[in-house]
A = this chain, B = another copy of it.
Amino acid sequence: MAEQVETARRAPLTRDRVLRTAVALADRTGIESLSMRNLAQELGVVPMALYKHVANKDELLAGMIDIVVAEIDPPVAGDWKQAVRRRVLSARRMLLRHPWASLAIESRTTATPAVLAYLDSTVGALRSSGFSTDLAHHVMHALGSRVLGFSQELFDASRQAGRSGATVPEAPADLPPEAAARFPHLAAIATAASHDGDSVVGPGCDDQFEFEFALDLLLDGIDRLHRNGWTSHRPG
């Protein structure tokens, strides 16, 4: 009867509940410590029970990706530049909420349906602004990882792969002293205060600023190509 109580108490297992619990668990404890056994325990169930709802761990991961990619805001109507910009920034916010997602998406061998849908509607925004399929094609490549909001923060503490959610956003992210000596240019760049003339870049590295800087650099370049009626002209 104790078993009956337990069984009655817990919500019934569904594919959706499995996936959402997996996302929450990965958010909390990192992707590398997400195991089928772990997830089963979180759900108060025996590991093999999960296999009645997902085929295997790879499909679990695909399902998790679909869930978080679906969190990205739908495209807005109007100016393609604004639309793409908002979209990419929304994707970025999603990735900050789910730090494991970028690596999970990157390491997949095949894109999931939700990822394809996201890419497709982004292309749609370009096309409806008069981009040729040709240019749109190249633009998607050019946006590259950024199209999904990655920022590839190379020496950023917050990138500690899949560490638990709360990161200290103002951490100066300095190099260790001996590395600073060996890599002076990096050290200069990583150093908090910029001593360059009238620069007003504050201490530390503002990820958001970096991200938008890079994004606008790309968008401006793309806009210029678009306005000039750019078309590809390969030697071959």
Contacts and interface: CB of A to CB of B under 8 A. Distances in A.
Minimum-distance CB pairs A-B, first 5: A123-B185, A120-B183, A142-B214, A141-B210, A132-B196
Interface string A150-164: 111111000111000
Interface string A138-149: 101110111100
A151 B161 contact: no
B185 A121 contact: yes
A233 to B, nearest CB: 6
Q: For the complex, would chain A's binding face be called helix, strand, loop or mixed by DSSP majority?
A: helix
B145 A150 contact: yes
Nearest to A202: B236
A138 B188 CA distance: 12
A221 B117 CA distance: 30
B142 A213 contact: yes
Interface of A: 103, 106-109, 111, 113, 116-117, 119-121, 123-124, 127, 132-138, 140-142, 144-147, 150-155, 159-161, 175, 179, 182-186, 188-189, 191, 194-202, 205-206, 209-211, 213-214, 217-218, 220-222, 225, 231-234, 236
28 contacts: A108-B161, A109-B160, A113-B182, A116-B182, A116-B186, A119-B186, A120-B184, A120-B185, A120-B186, A123-B185, A133-B188, A133-B189, A133-B194, A134-B199, A136-B189, A137-B205, A138-B214, A140-B154, A140-B189, A141-B210, A141-B214, A144-B151, A145-B145, A145-B150, A147-B154, A217-B222, A217-B225, A218-B221
